[in-house]
Amino acid sequence: MPTTNQGLIYVDVRVDRNKTPQQLFKSIGREQQCISDAVIGSIPRGEGEFVRVAFLEVVGRCSEDELEGVLNEHGLIHDPYAQIQVNINDPNFADDHPNGVHWKDVGHWCYASFHNKNGEHRIAADRSKEGVPGGYWVGGVPK
């Protein structure tokens, strides 16, 4: 089971859940790489206009199933729309806190990640094959 640093970061956001996932991704302003249209189209919208997103740092690589367990331990569920909104509102957040969110689509784990590589702001979204790398922050909202 992965460990987390117990220092959570909380970010309050207003989420427009009427936007399509494609509209959200265009609003991010990061270089898009490894973007799967099918995966983007499967992003769940979540609930609530005003939400508090909690971020926790995963120490060491873990599987998506292990990550789901960590979120459950903290009383959190994934909310891709809210986490994407955090990265839209603060384009530099992912530079200091590379972060990712995951969800299941037809039994397959999918992810969106926000990070900086060689000074370039990047986002990726695809099916997960390797789990979550250590040093990434994962977000969730209270159940």
Q: How many residues does the chain have?
A: 143
Complete DSSP assignment for 71-137: HHHTTEE--HHHHHHHHHH-TTHHHHS-EEEEEEETTEEEEEEEEEETTEEEEEEEE-SS-B-TT-E
Q: Report the pLDDT value the prediction gives residue 2, as an integer from 0 to 100.
A: 38
**Confidence at residue 6, expressed as pLDDT on a 0 to 100 scale:** 63
47's tokens: 């609930």
- The partner residues of 132 in beta bridges, in order of sequence, read 62
Is pLDDT of 4 > 80? Answer: no
pLDDT in tens, 10-54: 999 999 999 998 898 888 876 666 777 888 889 999 999 999 999
Asked whether the whole model's pTM tops 0.85, one would answer yes
Contact 30, 114 (CB under 8 A): yes
Cβ contacts of 18 within 8 Å, gap of 6 or more:
none
Residue bearing the bigger pLDDT, 29 or 65? 65
Per-domain boundaries in the chain: 3-136
Euclidean distance between the first and the last CA atom of the chain, given in angstroms as a whole number:
21
Q: Tell me: the pLDDT tens digits for 78-125?
A: 999 999 999 999 988 998 999 999 999 888 899 999 988 888 888 888
Q: Which residue has the higher pLDDT, 15 or 5?
A: 15
In this model, does residue 5 exceed pLDDT 60? Answer: no
Per-residue pLDDT reduced to its tens digit, 123-142: 888 888 777 888 889 999 99
